[in-house]
Amino acid sequence: MLNKAFAAAGAAAWGGLPFSELAADMTPEAIAKAEQLCPNPRAVLVAAFPYYAGERPGNLSLYARGRDYHQVVTARLNTICDILRKKYENEIFLPAADNSPLPERQAAWRCGIGLRGKNGLVILPPYGSYVFLGTILTDVELELPLRTPSPGCVGCGKCLTACPGGALGEAGVEVSRCLSDLTQKKGELTEGEAALLKAHPLIWGCDTCQRVCPYNAAPALSPLPEFREGLVDALEGADLEGLTNRTFREKYGDRAFAWRGPAPLRRNLKGRGK
């Protein structure tokens, strides 16, 4: 049943594991939040959804050009939850995408989805690392498929060397030095941060570690229309001129780059002299 449901929802891969096993990768605070959302959590389902739409010029990260993945992935997971709710009446099934206390990448790796990239990303051939992850948290003790934890990537180290902020190392990712995080930061930037951003080709996100990855040399295109059609590849000053927070969200609220409002985008454009 679940194989067909995830395939129909557009997932390229899926798996599941007991919540107690995933809790080993969670902080006490995250566990408490999960238990508030779903008292007595028993299982977690996790799935990967491809988003690569091909090479196109622009100044937004590839992940942010299509529809907001939070909305798209959650809606697609909800089709699975609807099936499960019919079978398990009065039980809890909570879909989420990058907005829950569950560590999605660790869940995927524990289920054997893809490879463990040195840049901290899930690499799922033939889509490379261009995949979004989503989870379903439930209080039902589901019968789950057998799984083998994900192996590491080839370990070429290209992502570590190419990272413009020096955020990647053998020990993991230092988020404070990640250009993707920096472009989304609120307020004024330090002189060093501004210099990094000025030399960066994007005003939102960073694709550098993905672009140099050998698994992303020729990734397969996403079959999902939300990530292939109606793309916003770039933003310039004229696109944001005169927009209030409200009108900005009316215009771009269905995009992943909209959650911070227009201020960081205007700052980033100004820092690059645009």
Q: For residue range 173-205, what is the model confidence (pLDDT) as tens digits?
A: 898 889 999 999 998 999 999 999 999 999 999
98: annotated active-site residue:
yes
Q: What is the DSSP letter of 200?
A: -
Which of the residues 68, 82, 98, 254 is marked catalytic? 98
Low-confidence residues of the chain, pLDDT below 50?
none
Tokens of 107: 């869940």
Residue corresponding to tokens 């010029």: 57
pLDDT of the residue at 273? 62
- What are the CA-CA distances from residue 39 to residues 31, 42, 51 (Å)? 11, 9, 33
Distance CA 267, CA 41 (A): 42
Q: Are 72 and 226 in contact (CB under 8 A)?
A: yes
- What are the CA-CA distances from residue 74 to residues 15, 21, 70, 105, 135 (Å)? 16, 23, 6, 16, 8
pTM of the entire predicted model? 0.95
